Every structure is written in C-alpha cells, then in structure tokens.
Chains A and B, each alone.
Chain A
C-alpha cells in the first residue's frame, strides 16, 4: 500500500492567516508540537540514526570490509540488476496506462484505475505466494519450465517477477491524476499543427509530466531495491546468488553479524534519504508546473 496518498492533494499548499481567535494558546501549541516531535523522534529519527551509529560502531575499516565482502557485493549487484529491469518496465507500463486513461474516454475507466492499485492491497508475502503457486517446482507452470532448464523460483527471474508485481502501480498512479488535470488541449493543438504521435508525446506531453515521472520513478526504484517480503518468499536465500541487499541484511543480522548487517542497511538508508530529497524537489516542481498550466 505504499504511496497510496496521491500527490495532487498534497500540493494545494494554502497559507493560513492566523488570528487570535482561530489559534490556540502558546501552551497548547507547544504541547502539540512537542507531542508530534517526540512521536516522530521515537518512530522515525531514532531508527534512522541508529542505523548509521551501528554501521560505524566497529570503525570505518570494518564498515568498508562489510561492504566489499564478496557476498555483499553479489547482493548489491543483484539488487541493482533487479531494479534495472523492473523500473524501466513499470515506467513503460505507467506511461501507457496514464496515456490511455487520461487522454481518452472509455467505459470501465474507474474499474481500470482500481485494478491498477490492486497490488498495493496485496500483502508482499501473498504476492510471493502467488508466484510460488505458479512457478514453484510443485506449481502449475514450474515443472514445465524446469524441464526446459529454466528455473524461476529460487532464482533471479522469480525475484524480478515478484518485484515487478509489488512496484506495479507506482508510476501509473502518480501520472494518471497529473495527466488528467493537464487535459488534452496541448496535444490536440500539436496534432492539428502536424506533429506525429511520437513527436506529440516527446515534445508536448513529456516536458509537462517530467517531474511527475521522476516522482513515480524514484518511489518505484526505492521499493524495487528495498522490497523484502515478496522477494524473501521467492528467493531461496542462497548466499552470493539469490540474496538481494535487504535479504543479505536479514542473513547477517540472524548470524549476529550486526555491524555488517547495519553497514548494508546504511546504504539502503542513504538510498531512502536521497529518494526523499528528490521527491521533495519533484513536489515543488510539480506544483510550479501546475500553477503555470493554470496561467
């Protein structure tokens, strides 16, 4: 269910003028701010800080030793490889779905939008279970693939398929409301002036949706690299072969190799922070684009 809060709603920042009668006494105000900050400190900031403190608790050498361990490098490679396939494929899907939904009228549109969100409602573990039922050695298609020498479950293809499933809605759900709000007038004008379909998309639509696209991409990438439940079910946990970074964190942690576990985890935490920064920039840019469109 990650990211189910749409971007559109968040960007309606309206400044509210405070007057004496419509705000709280300073005591109540600071009590509320204090409560909020303590809550966020305990649940967000402390976990983040702990990851870095533990990662460097054995010194910088141990940190780099953990990252350059062959199994760790294999996990990093597999995670990058998976994201390199998953993100572009779901990007193409997201753009296609958003184009069809926002630029045309057809029956069953809201049903289609609901169906696109479906993977968010499915527990990651259940997503993994589904693909085991299909491609597992005792599944429906698994034996056929195995007899042709293709292993899907407990191998890289299974990890890629499970990750495709859990990150399926990300790009589409950011682009659909954005492109619906932008309408079709600019594209129609381009067509009337003689632009081809591809030219219309690449020169008119793409610049308009650029930041929405980046927003969807970065969230899709974060989830693709960080997915645990679905990948854990289909991976088989073979060190150096089918371990992604999050799975390697789990293995190291269960072996009481805490420093190494947190070293890998700190890389993922940096990824999360970079994701948040790019996301914030994209939000500002999208709001700017929307104001410009309105003018």
Chain B
C-alpha cells in the first residue's frame, strides 16, 4: 500500500500531491467566512482610524480622562499579570510535583475563569470584597478598601488571567528532565540553587508567555471589572468602559481612538509571545 501511495504521489502534479479531497471547498469557505467576519470588519476599523486624521486621533487620546483610563487599564493589568506569574507558578508547581487531597478537582477548577461568564465572576467578586462581604469586612478592619478602588480592579483582572500562567507553565514543568536536578543535587547544589539555576531558566519562556497572555487578556477585559471598579472618571474608570461610554454618546471617533491604542498594545504583546516561542524553539533545537 505504501508503494501504491508513493506512485500516486509521483503521478499527480505537485500541487495535488494529496489524494485527499476537499481542499478547494474547505479552504474557500475558511477564507470567505474569516474575511466576512474578522478581516473586513477589522480592516474597516483601520480605515475609519486613518480617515479621522492624526489631529483628531491625537486630541482624543490625549484627553486627560482618556489618558487616566489608559494608565489605569495598563497599570492594573500589569500588576495582575505579575500576581498571576507569581502565584500561577506556585500553583503549577504544586499541581505537577506534589500530591494532596482533591488535586484532580482543583486542577480542573483552574480553568473556571475560561468557563464562567465574566458578569458572574464580576458580581461574585464585588459581593466578597465589598465592605459587608466575607473578605471585605476583615480588610476594612485593617483600614483599607478593595471594592470600588484600583485594588478591586486588580483582583478582577487577576481572576480572569489566572489560567494562562498555570496552563503554560504546567507542561513545561512536566517536560523537565529529572536527571538534571539529580546532577545538580549530586554536585552539591541546594534545592533553592537548583531551582534558581536549573529549573527556572528552563521554564522561564513559558512563564513569560503565560504572563503576556494574562496581560493581553486583562487589558481588554470588561465584564468582570465594571462591577467591582466603581467606575469613577479619572479614578476607577478602565479604558474598555470609556469606549462603551463614548459609543453611547455616539462619539465614534473618540471610541475608535481608544480602541486603536488598545489594539496596538494587544498586537505588540502577541508579537512578544511569538518572539519568545521562536527564541525558545531555536534554543531547544541547538541543544
């Protein structure tokens, strides 16, 4: 049969080297559907931006209210992604290396933020962390407030970015060669030295990837944040919310200008992720 297949391959012209049918149909539908739903609408957004002119764009995004919303969105997302990188690494480590009760259930629950609608996590978080909430009332005793401040925003963004770091670091930890750690130990390294010099460098690319994904997701997040944020202009108003407000006022130009800044940030992060993966593949090929 193998020889039969090779014969078939050689007879048919190079472009149709496969006996499998359906390329025209499936590729045609894929390109058509993707163009109609994603590419042309996104292209339209770019077109709309270029037609508004540089001055209008600049004026929109240098408005103090817009600037403070962008600063808040990027800043809170960055802190949330850092928190996720730190705790996500610990969660991934614990799930891969140790055994404890209900480990399988907890492992499955890590994906909850992917499955739980953001509005649901939003109202749940504000109930927990507001002044009367089961956590908020104790925090209040310590003299500060979580709900309706930037801290609340960071908490909501940490929740929705939580799975990214865990799910990128987990496979990297599983793939680690145990022998390397034994070698390090037998050469006299302490456990912390082994982690710092052997384990961490190996999982660093996936940790960075997870961090970047959590960051990108957090910048665009809307549903889970608006309930806990308080939404005070200049103080706790995130950029996606300001887009919604501007749309309600039919200020399409202002809304698009903010959207463009956020899209550029998202694409830069995407580029960063691709660079890490490209670098990582080259690095592992060399070894």
Give the B-binding residues of A (Cβ under 8 A): 1-5, 9-10, 12-14, 16-19, 21-25, 28-29, 32-33, 35-37, 39-40, 42-48, 50-51, 54, 92-93, 95-97, 99-100, 103-106, 112, 114-116, 118-119, 121-126, 128-134, 136, 138, 140, 161, 164-165, 168, 184, 187-189, 191-192, 197, 200-201, 219, 222, 225-229, 232-233, 245-247, 249-250, 253, 258, 261-262, 265, 268-269, 271-273, 275-277, 279-280
Contact = CB atoms under 8 A, between A and B. Distances in A.
Nearest to B31: A112
B135 A42 contact: yes
A13 B221 CA distance: 32
Interface stretch (B54-62, B64-72, B180-188): B180-188
Interface string B158-202: 110011100110110011001001100110000100100000000
Given A126-B263, A222-B114, A192 B5 contact: yes
Given A12-B175, A44-B109, A279-B111, A39 B41 contact: no
B121 interface: yes
A-B pairs with the 8 shortest C-beta distances? A123-B220, A226-B117, A228-B223, A47-B124, A5-B167, A21-B185, A229-B222, A9-B171
Nearest to A275: B115
B26 interface: yes
Contacts of B94: 32-33, 36
B186 to A, nearest CB: 7
A5 B88 CA distance: 14
B199 to A, nearest CB: 10
Contacts of A253: 123, 227
Contacts of A197: 20-22
A227 B114 CA distance: 11
12 contacts: A1-B217, A25-B191, A36-B94, A47-B121, A50-B134, A125-B243, A125-B259, A129-B259, A133-B45, A246-B119, A275-B115, A279-B108
B97 interface: yes
Interface residues of B, number: 102
Interface in B106-133: 106, 108-121, 123-125, 127-128
Contacts of B38: 115, 118-119, 165, 168
Nearest to A2: B114
Contacts of A262: 123
Interface in B264-284: 266-267, 269-270, 274
A39 B90 contact: yes
A39 B87 contact: yes
Contact of A228 (B5, B117, B185, B216): B117
Contacts of B11: none
